[in-house]
A and B are shown apart, each in its own frame.
Chain A
Amino acid sequence: EVQLVESGGGLVQPGRSMKLSCAASGFTFSDYYMAWVRQAPKKGLEWVASISYEGSSTYYGDSVKGRFTISRDNAKSTLYLQMNSLRSEDTATYYCARHPLLPTTDWYFDFWGPGTMVTVSS
C-alpha cells in the first residue's frame, strides 16, 4: 500500500526556517518524481515544487522560488522541503504528493499524504 506521511510542521516566526519531511513506503521511491503542494486556510490548492528521480532537476512555483528547496534521499525513501525566509502567506497545510510513473511530463498527482500544517506567525 502506498503511504506518504509528512512531518515537521508547526508554528514558526516570520523570517525563520523550517524543514518538512515526507516518509514514503509501499513503492519504489526512486522511480517517481515527487512534489509538494500546499493549501492555505480557506483557500485552494497550490503546487509548490517538484523533483526528479535522483534530484538532479527541481522545479518551483514563483511564490517560493529562491526561498524553498526541495530535495530527496532515495536511500531513506524520504522527500524534504527546506523553507527559508518564511512569510505569513506561507501559512498552509503542506502535502507530499507523488507524480505518476509515466510519462514524466504528466504533472498530476496520483497519491497524496494527509498533510502537515505550517503556521507562520509572531
Chain B
Amino acid sequence: DVQMTQSPSYLAASPGESVSISCKASKSISTYLAWYQEKPGKANKLLIYSGSTLQSGTPSRFSGSGSGTDFTLTIRSLEPEDFTVYYCQHYNEYPPTFGGGTKLELK
C-alpha cells in the first residue's frame, strides 16, 4: 500500500497568516491526491482533488500543488473557521490511503 505522510502533525498560526501543510507519498502517485477538512460534529469536506483542483465551494484562499510524491496544501489569509484538521488521501491505486492528519491551531 502507498503510505501517506503528513507534516507537521500540529501547526499553530494566527488569523491572516498563510500556512502550508506537506503530504508525501511513499511512491509516485502522479496527481491523484485529495485534501479534506475535518470539523467536529460535521461531515468531512472535500477541498481539493487531482492535486490542485478546487472542489466547488472551496474558498480561493485554499490551494494545492505538487505531483509525484510531494504535495502541499496552502491556506492564505487564514480565517477563524480554518482552524481545524486536514487530511490528504491518494487514489492512484487500490487501496486508497490517507495521511495521518494535520491539526491547525490558533496561536
List the interface of chain A (C-beta within 8 A of B).
4, 44-47, 59, 61-62, 95, 97, 100, 106-115
Which of B17-25, B36-44, B65-73 lies on the face that meets chain A?
A: B36-44
Is B44's CB under 8 angstroms from A95's CB?
Answer: yes
B93 to A, closest residue via Cβ: A107
> Is residue B63 within 8 Å, beta carbon to beta carbon, of the partner chain?
no
Is B43's CB under 8 angstroms from A100's CB?
Answer: no
Residue in A4, A100, A111, A114 whose CB lies within 8 Å of B42: A114
Assuming A44-B87, A45-B87, is B94 touching A59 (CB within 8 A)?
Answer: yes
Number of cross-chain contacts by CB at 8 Å: 54
In whole angstroms, how far apart are the Cα atoms of A45 and B41 in the complex? 16
Between A and B, 21 residue pairs with Cβ closer than 8 Å are A44-B87, A44-B101, A45-B87, A45-B101, A61-B95, A95-B43, A95-B44, A100-B49, A108-B34, A108-B46, A108-B49, A109-B36, A109-B46, A110-B46, A110-B55, A111-B43, A111-B46, A112-B44, A112-B46, A114-B42, A115-B43
Is A108's CB under 8 angstroms from B89's CB?
Answer: yes
Please indicate the chain A residues that have their CB under 8 angstroms from the CB of B55 in the complex: 110
Is A108's CB under 8 angstroms from B91's CB?
Answer: yes
Q: Is the interface of A mostly helix, strand, loop or mixed?
A: loop
Please indicate the chain A residues that have their CB under 8 angstroms from the CB of B44 in the complex: 95, 97, 109, 112
In whole angstroms, how far apart are the Cα atoms of A6 and B75 in the complex? 31
Please indicate the chain A residues that have their CB under 8 angstroms from the CB of B42 in the complex: 114
Is B100's CB under 8 angstroms from A44's CB?
Answer: yes
State which residues 25-54 of B face A: CB under 8 Å. Answer: 32, 34, 36, 41-46, 49
Is A44's CB under 8 angstroms from B43's CB?
Answer: no
B44 to A, closest residue via Cβ: A112
CB distance from B87 to the nearest CB of A (A): 6
Residue in B43, B45, B99 whose CB lies within 8 Å of A113: B43
Please indicate the chain A residues that have their CB under 8 angstroms from the CB of B94 in the complex: 59, 107
B91 to A, closest residue via Cβ: A107
Please indicate the chain B residues that have their CB under 8 angstroms from the CB of A106 in the complex: 32, 49, 91
